[in-house]
Copies of this chain bind each other. A is one copy, B any other.
Amino acid sequence: MWKDCGVDAMPEMEATLKRDAVVVPLAAKRVCGAVACRDCGVYRLCAALGLEEDELSLLERVVKRKLIFKRGGLLFRAREPAHYVYAIRSGSVKTCVGTEGGRVQITGLHLPGELLGLAGFDSREYTCEARALETTSVCQVSMQQLEEVAERLPAIHREMLCIMSGQIRHYEQLLLLLGKRNAERRLAAFLLGLSQRFALHRYSPTQFNLSMSRSDIGNYLGIAEETVCRVFTRFQEEGVITTRRRYVELHDIERLRAIAHDPGRRAAAPSALASGT
């Protein structure tokens, strides 16, 4: 399903850290495999813009241009001036933050229709680094011009607030995942989450490409890559999933759900204060 549009991760040894994005003229409307505008997370934002001027001209004014990044390509670095926001049209992107200690933590896997780079609104700098996990097509949106338009159209700001609050919800879920111990549960929840998101964007919820290596997945979920392998193997033996490298098929969503939600053993339950459900 990924190959048909030549998007599959041809890990080209691109040693270059510089942006080697390919600029695509806006005229080239449809990128094969890309989400349609109306499935894009910024669609409502674009729609709001359309309220007052000719749709395309305004889009051109704010959507700087369409870019294509190769696997490993850098969209932006942490602490770099945040001039642009990116909407993913096809492919996938991972974001990560780093400590002084040199450790790196992957904080997000972003799929088509999602928006990147808004978190730096406050400091006007990106808070994390973003890299394409495979050949990825994005819309690059100028923050400054977006702000200028927003000055007159509060709807723009409201959409931005919505997108950010969505990001916050995502992090809350991830925290929930990392707080709970068990590796099986983490992976089950991870797969289910992906499945849901793919479904949201009209991709198959039962077979997809992970696009991240075992090592990245481990980092993202706070477990060792060997453990990721072992759990995948176990799931496979139980007939819950099938994997072949980064390609996955989910055979038994219910079982996965059971694993992910397993009330299981005690896991640092908060005091009565917390459990006020």
A residues touching B (Cβ–Cβ < 8 Å)? 2, 7-9, 17, 71-72, 74, 77, 94, 96-107, 118-123, 127-129, 131, 133, 147, 150-151, 154, 157-158, 160-169, 171-176, 178-181, 213, 215-216, 218-220, 222-225, 260-264, 267-277
The answer on a CB contact under 8 Å between B129 and A276 is: yes
Instruction: Identify A268's interface contact among B225, B272, B276, CB under 8 A.
Output: B225
The answer on a CB contact under 8 Å between B178 and A2 is: no
The answer on a CB contact under 8 Å between B127 and A276 is: no
The answer on a CB contact under 8 Å between B269 and A219 is: yes
Instruction: Identify A158's interface contact among B9, B99, B157, B165, CB under 8 A.
Output: B157
Closest Cβ neighbor of A170 among chain B residues = B171
Known contacts A122-B166, A154-B157, A174-B175, then 18 further A-B pairs from the complex at CB < 8 Å, ordered by chain A residue: A96-B270, A98-B277, A99-B180, A99-B261, A100-B261, A101-B263, A102-B263, A103-B180, A103-B269, A104-B277, A118-B165, A121-B162, A133-B273, A150-B157, A161-B161, A179-B220, A216-B273, A225-B268
Instruction: Identify A119's interface contact among B94, B103, B165, B270, CB under 8 A.
Output: B165
The answer on a CB contact under 8 Å between A271 and B215 is: yes
Cα A180 to Cα B106 in complex, Å, equals 11
Instruction: Identify A216's interface contact among B8, B122, B161, B271, CB under 8 A.
Output: B271
Between-chain CB contacts (< 8 Å), 27 pairs: A7-B276, A8-B273, A17-B276, A97-B175, A97-B176, A98-B277, A101-B262, A101-B263, A102-B263, A103-B263, A105-B180, A107-B176, A120-B165, A121-B165, A122-B162, A127-B168, A131-B273, A150-B154, A154-B154, A157-B157, A175-B178, A218-B268, A219-B269, A219-B270, A219-B274, A222-B268, A224-B268
